[in-house]
Amino acid sequence: QVQLQESGPGLVKPSETLSLTCDVSDDSISSYYWSWVRQPAEKGLEWIGRVYSTGIINYNPSLKSRVTMSIDTSKNQVSLKLSSVTAADTAVYYCAREIVTAGRAFDYWGQGALVTVSS
Amino acid sequence: DIQMTQSPSSLSASIGDRVTITCRAGQTLSNYLNWYQQKPGKAPKLLIYGASSLQTGVPSRFSGSGSGTHFTLTISSLQTEDFATYYCQQSYSVPRTFGQGTKVEIK
Protein backbone atom coordinates (compact mmCIF):
# COMPACT_ATOMS: atom_id res chain seq x y z
CA GLN A 1 0.00 0.00 0.00
CA VAL A 2 1.12 3.55 -0.63
CA GLN A 3 2.92 5.43 2.11
CA LEU A 4 3.12 9.20 2.50
CA GLN A 5 5.81 10.94 4.55
CA GLU A 6 5.85 14.64 5.33
CA SER A 7 9.10 16.38 6.14
CA GLY A 8 10.37 19.88 6.78
CA PRO A 9 11.43 22.28 9.53
CA GLY A 10 9.49 21.90 12.73
CA LEU A 11 10.06 25.52 13.74
CA VAL A 12 9.48 28.56 11.57
CA LYS A 13 9.83 32.20 12.55
CA PRO A 14 6.92 34.61 12.18
CA SER A 15 6.74 36.31 8.77
CA GLU A 16 8.88 33.61 7.19
CA THR A 17 7.86 30.83 4.80
CA LEU A 18 6.84 27.36 5.90
CA SER A 19 8.06 24.65 3.52
CA LEU A 20 7.06 21.00 3.61
CA THR A 21 7.45 18.09 1.28
CA CYS A 22 5.49 14.86 1.04
CA ASP A 23 7.24 11.80 -0.31
CA VAL A 24 4.96 9.27 -1.98
CA SER A 25 6.21 5.69 -1.86
CA ASP A 26 4.97 4.50 -5.26
CA ASP A 27 4.27 5.72 -8.77
CA SER A 28 0.62 6.54 -8.08
CA ILE A 29 1.59 10.20 -7.82
CA SER A 30 0.54 10.79 -11.42
CA SER A 31 -2.92 9.32 -10.98
CA TYR A 32 -4.35 11.12 -7.98
CA TYR A 33 -4.94 14.52 -6.47
CA TRP A 34 -2.65 15.30 -3.53
CA SER A 35 -3.97 17.53 -0.79
CA TRP A 36 -2.55 19.28 2.23
CA VAL A 37 -4.69 19.40 5.36
CA ARG A 38 -3.74 21.03 8.63
CA GLN A 39 -4.92 20.71 12.20
CA PRO A 40 -4.08 23.11 15.03
CA ALA A 41 -3.75 21.48 18.42
CA GLU A 42 -7.09 20.33 19.82
CA LYS A 43 -8.94 21.73 16.79
CA GLY A 44 -10.50 20.46 13.60
CA LEU A 45 -9.23 19.80 10.10
CA GLU A 46 -8.67 22.51 7.50
CA TRP A 47 -8.08 21.76 3.84
CA ILE A 48 -5.28 23.90 2.42
CA GLY A 49 -5.37 22.86 -1.22
CA ARG A 50 -4.57 20.16 -3.74
CA VAL A 51 -2.42 19.53 -6.78
CA TYR A 52 -2.64 17.09 -9.69
CA SER A 53 0.16 15.91 -11.93
CA THR A 54 -1.26 17.76 -14.94
CA GLY A 55 -0.77 21.05 -13.14
CA ILE A 56 -4.30 21.48 -11.85
CA ILE A 57 -4.11 23.26 -8.52
CA ASN A 58 -6.89 24.36 -6.18
CA TYR A 59 -6.29 26.41 -3.07
CA ASN A 60 -8.52 27.23 -0.14
CA PRO A 61 -9.55 30.88 -0.70
CA SER A 62 -8.81 31.59 2.95
CA LEU A 63 -5.12 30.84 2.35
CA LYS A 64 -4.77 31.35 -1.38
CA SER A 65 -2.72 34.53 -1.20
CA ARG A 66 -0.01 32.77 0.85
CA VAL A 67 0.03 29.20 -0.49
CA THR A 68 2.05 27.59 -3.23
CA MET A 69 1.83 23.89 -4.04
CA SER A 70 3.80 21.90 -6.55
CA ILE A 71 4.35 18.33 -7.67
CA ASP A 72 7.47 16.59 -8.93
CA THR A 73 6.52 13.29 -10.52
CA SER A 74 10.15 12.37 -11.14
CA LYS A 75 10.79 12.45 -7.41
CA ASN A 76 7.34 11.21 -6.32
CA GLN A 77 7.09 14.34 -4.24
CA VAL A 78 4.51 17.00 -3.44
CA SER A 79 5.45 20.31 -1.87
CA LEU A 80 3.76 23.02 0.17
CA LYS A 81 4.91 26.55 0.84
CA LEU A 82 3.03 28.93 3.10
CA SER A 83 4.37 32.45 3.30
CA SER A 84 4.15 35.18 5.92
CA VAL A 85 3.34 32.74 8.69
CA THR A 86 2.00 33.71 12.10
CA ALA A 87 1.31 31.80 15.28
CA ALA A 88 -2.10 30.94 13.83
CA ASP A 89 -0.34 28.72 11.29
CA THR A 90 1.03 26.47 14.04
CA ALA A 91 -0.47 23.07 13.32
CA VAL A 92 0.11 19.49 12.29
CA TYR A 93 0.27 19.44 8.50
CA TYR A 94 -0.86 16.31 6.68
CA CYS A 95 -0.56 15.32 3.07
CA ALA A 96 -3.34 13.10 1.80
CA ARG A 97 -4.20 11.26 -1.38
CA GLU A 98 -7.60 11.99 -2.91
CA ILE A 99 -9.28 9.24 -4.90
CA VAL A 100 -10.31 10.55 -8.33
CA THR A 101 -13.45 8.42 -8.35
CA ALA A 102 -15.15 6.53 -5.47
CA GLY A 103 -16.48 9.45 -3.49
CA ARG A 104 -13.33 11.54 -4.03
CA ALA A 105 -12.25 10.77 -0.48
CA PHE A 106 -8.85 11.00 1.17
CA ASP A 107 -7.88 7.35 1.34
CA TYR A 108 -4.26 7.62 2.43
CA TRP A 109 -2.69 10.12 4.81
CA GLY A 110 0.81 10.84 5.97
CA GLN A 111 1.62 10.69 9.66
CA GLY A 112 1.68 14.48 9.86
CA ALA A 113 4.38 17.07 10.48
CA LEU A 114 4.11 19.44 13.42
CA VAL A 115 5.11 22.97 12.49
CA THR A 116 5.42 25.58 15.22
CA VAL A 117 5.61 29.27 14.34
CA SER A 118 7.61 31.07 16.98
CA SER A 119 10.53 33.43 17.29
CA ASP B 1 -17.53 27.34 0.75
CA ILE B 2 -19.87 24.56 1.85
CA GLN B 3 -20.47 24.65 5.59
CA MET B 4 -20.52 21.29 7.33
CA THR B 5 -22.19 20.96 10.72
CA GLN B 6 -21.90 17.86 12.87
CA SER B 7 -23.97 16.94 15.88
CA PRO B 8 -23.42 16.29 18.62
CA SER B 9 -19.98 17.80 19.24
CA SER B 10 -19.35 15.10 21.79
CA LEU B 11 -21.10 12.12 23.27
CA SER B 12 -20.58 9.57 25.99
CA ALA B 13 -21.48 5.97 25.31
CA SER B 14 -20.90 2.49 26.65
CA ILE B 15 -19.44 -0.57 25.01
CA GLY B 16 -22.11 -2.21 22.91
CA ASP B 17 -24.17 0.96 22.43
CA ARG B 18 -25.51 2.02 19.08
CA VAL B 19 -24.11 5.44 18.22
CA THR B 20 -25.32 7.85 15.56
CA ILE B 21 -23.56 11.01 14.43
CA THR B 22 -25.25 13.50 12.13
CA CYS B 23 -23.69 15.76 9.52
CA ARG B 24 -25.56 18.50 7.69
CA ALA B 25 -24.30 20.39 4.67
CA GLY B 26 -25.04 23.98 3.73
CA GLN B 27 -25.98 22.88 0.22
CA THR B 28 -26.68 19.64 -1.55
CA LEU B 29 -23.74 17.26 -1.90
CA SER B 30 -25.45 14.47 -3.82
CA ASN B 31 -23.56 11.63 -2.14
CA TYR B 32 -20.13 13.27 -1.99
CA LEU B 33 -19.79 12.87 1.74
CA ASN B 34 -17.04 11.00 3.55
CA TRP B 35 -16.44 10.00 7.16
CA TYR B 36 -13.13 9.75 9.00
CA GLN B 37 -12.02 8.50 12.39
CA GLN B 38 -9.14 10.15 14.20
CA LYS B 39 -7.39 8.96 17.32
CA PRO B 40 -5.09 11.20 19.39
CA GLY B 41 -1.75 11.79 17.73
CA LYS B 42 -2.76 9.95 14.58
CA ALA B 43 -3.82 10.92 11.09
CA PRO B 44 -7.48 10.62 10.15
CA LYS B 45 -8.57 7.27 8.77
CA LEU B 46 -11.18 6.90 6.05
CA LEU B 47 -14.22 4.92 7.18
CA ILE B 48 -17.00 5.68 4.69
CA TYR B 49 -16.88 7.25 1.24
CA GLY B 50 -19.66 8.26 -1.09
CA ALA B 51 -21.99 8.59 1.91
CA SER B 52 -22.50 4.85 2.35
CA SER B 53 -19.61 2.79 0.96
CA LEU B 54 -17.43 1.06 3.52
CA GLN B 55 -13.71 1.53 2.99
CA THR B 56 -11.77 -1.72 2.65
CA GLY B 57 -10.76 -3.14 6.01
CA VAL B 58 -13.22 -1.10 8.06
CA PRO B 59 -15.44 -3.22 10.36
CA SER B 60 -19.01 -3.71 9.23
CA ARG B 61 -20.38 -2.19 12.45
CA PHE B 62 -19.71 1.17 10.78
CA SER B 63 -22.29 2.35 8.28
CA GLY B 64 -23.20 5.57 6.57
CA SER B 65 -26.40 6.85 5.05
CA GLY B 66 -27.99 9.94 3.62
CA SER B 67 -27.86 12.11 0.55
CA GLY B 68 -28.39 15.73 -0.33
CA THR B 69 -27.73 17.71 2.82
CA HIS B 70 -28.35 15.23 5.65
CA PHE B 71 -26.03 12.35 6.46
CA THR B 72 -25.45 9.96 9.34
CA LEU B 73 -22.66 7.73 10.57
CA THR B 74 -23.77 4.80 12.69
CA ILE B 75 -21.73 2.46 14.83
CA SER B 76 -23.99 -0.49 15.50
CA SER B 77 -22.21 -1.81 18.59
CA LEU B 78 -19.53 0.43 20.04
CA GLN B 79 -16.19 -1.23 20.74
CA THR B 80 -13.26 -0.05 22.86
CA GLU B 81 -11.22 0.85 19.79
CA ASP B 82 -14.00 3.11 18.48
CA PHE B 83 -13.45 5.81 21.07
CA ALA B 84 -12.13 8.60 18.89
CA THR B 85 -13.14 11.78 17.09
CA TYR B 86 -15.17 11.47 13.90
CA TYR B 87 -15.26 13.97 11.05
CA CYS B 88 -17.48 14.31 8.03
CA GLN B 89 -16.06 15.90 4.89
CA GLN B 90 -17.66 17.03 1.67
CA SER B 91 -16.01 16.24 -1.65
CA TYR B 92 -18.70 17.84 -3.82
CA SER B 93 -16.71 21.00 -4.50
CA VAL B 94 -13.55 22.87 -3.64
CA PRO B 95 -12.58 24.03 -1.16
CA ARG B 96 -13.04 20.70 0.56
CA THR B 97 -14.52 21.26 4.00
CA PHE B 98 -14.85 19.21 7.16
CA GLY B 99 -17.32 19.15 9.98
CA GLN B 100 -16.05 20.33 13.36
CA GLY B 101 -15.80 16.79 14.68
CA THR B 102 -17.66 14.58 17.13
CA LYS B 103 -15.72 13.17 20.05
CA VAL B 104 -16.96 9.78 21.23
CA GLU B 105 -15.99 9.15 24.85
CA ILE B 106 -16.45 6.32 27.30
CA LYS B 107 -19.40 6.62 29.65
Per-residue pLDDT reduced to its tens digit, B21-49: 999 999 999 999 999 999 999 999 999 99
> Looking at the complex, does the CB of residue B32 fall below 8 Å from at least one CB of chain A?
yes
> Looking at the complex, does the CB of residue B46 fall below 8 Å from at least one CB of chain A?
yes
Whether residue B90 has pLDDT greater than 80: yes
Of A58, A105, A110, the CB nearest to B94: A58
B60 contacts B71 by C-beta, under 8 angstroms? no
Length of chain A: 119
Closest-CA residue of chain B to A61: B95
**Interacting residues of A113 by C-beta distance below 8 A, sequence separation 6+:** A6, A7, A8, A10, A20, A92, A93, A94
Q: Phi then psi for A27, rounded to 5 degrees?
A: -85, 15
Whether residue A102 has pLDDT greater than 80: no
Share of chain B above pLDDT 70, in %: 100
Q: What is the mean pLDDT of residues A85-105?
A: 93
How far, in Å, CA of A114 to CA of A119, rounded? 16
How far, in Å, CA of A94 to CA of A11, rounded? 16
